[in-house]
Amino acid sequence: AQTVTQSQPEMSVQEAETVTLSCTYDTSESNYYLFWYKQPPSRQMILVIRQEAYKQQNATENRFSVNFQKAAKSFSLKISDSQLGDTAMYFCAFLQGGSEKLVFGKGTKLTVNP
Amino acid sequence: DAGVIQSPRHEVTEMGQEVTLRCKPISGHNSLFWYRQTMMRGLELLIYFNNNVPIDDSGMPEDRFSAKMPNASFSTLKIQPSEPRDSAVYFCASSFRRLAGAGFRFGPGTRLTVL
């Protein structure tokens, strides 16, 4: 079974600085998708960014970008110019191609300090 | 779109009572998922449906839990009888099956407290 590991339970960053959240996963498959979800205190799960395994180019969404290292099975999230509204839990998630069972990591609690 | 709609947002009940959580997926989505979130176990998939048919219920913890999807726009998750260890946030999510790689849309969740 696929597993997703987020090794940083908590992180903090100063407003306007850059922070990187780590995620590793374990799979023997070659076709899959990776996601980062944000869960602010409102508890709404919000999709931040997604990556298709067969694409070598790292995904970018405004201030959010990923560093996808397929061989190392690593999928880190970089948040640039951190804002107070980025304070949230961040979950890394894995979806095997052809499957619908989205597997989540335990999450990283990010606090952006003013 | 209105997003995935869940009700109630909060539910407080006493042990032994029946609890019913409700979900309306995004119109046009044909896959629906029920997740449970706790501090100890994180986000767990309980059950999911394709075209109103249950596909995988291996995550349902016990026979006390049941889920139905009578039509494409409505699903329920029922706990009978409820126990304090069922206290958690329950999320409903939906997607269009062939575009699962685009990501799932989650509802706002129901926070369940069983006293």
A10-14/A108-113 β-pairing: parallel
* pLDDT at position A97: 84
Residue A2 has pLDDT above 90, yes or no: no
**High-pLDDT (> 70) share of chain A, %:** 100
Cβ neighbors of A71 (< 8 A, separation 6 or more) are none
Q: What is the pLDDT of residues A20-59, one digit of tens each?
A: 999 999 999 889 999 999 999 999 999 999 999 998 899 9
Closest CB to A104: pick one of B42, B56, B105.
Answer: B42
Residue B2 has pLDDT above 90, yes or no: no
Comparing CA positions, the residue from A39, A9, A17 lying closest to residue A112 is A17
Contact B101 A106 (CB under 8 A): no
Q: Where does residue B68 rank: exposed (0-12), middle (13-18), buried (19+ CB within 10 A)?
A: middle
Residue B85 distance to chain A (closest CA, Å) = 19
Mean residue pLDDT of chain A comes to 95
Query: In chain A, which among 48-77 make CB contacts under 8 A with chain B?
Result: 50, 52
Residue A100: pLDDT band with limits 50, 70, 90: confident
Residue in chain B closest to A36 (alpha carbons) equals B103
| Residues in chain B within 8 Å Cβ distance of A101 | 45, 48, 56
Q: Is B58 left (phi over 0), alpha (psi -120 to 50) or beta?
A: alpha
Q: How many CA atoms lie within 13 A of B76 on its CB side?
A: 9
Domain-wise residue ranges, chain A: 3-113
Q: What top-level class would CATH report for the domain A3-113? A: mainly beta
Closest CB to A106: pick one of B42, B50, B56.
Answer: B42
What the block records as the tokens of A57 is 């180019």
Residue A60: pLDDT band with limits 50, 70, 90: very high
Contact A45 B91 (CB under 8 A): yes
Contact B104 A47 (CB under 8 A): yes
* pLDDT at position A99: 84
Closest CB to A43: pick one of B31, B48, B108.
Answer: B108
B110-114/B10-13 β-pairing: parallel
Write the DSSP symbol of residue B73: T
* pLDDT at position B70: 97
Q: What is the pLDDT of residues B8-64, one digit of tens each?
A: 999 999 999 999 999 999 999 999 999 999 999 999 999 999 999 999 999 998 899
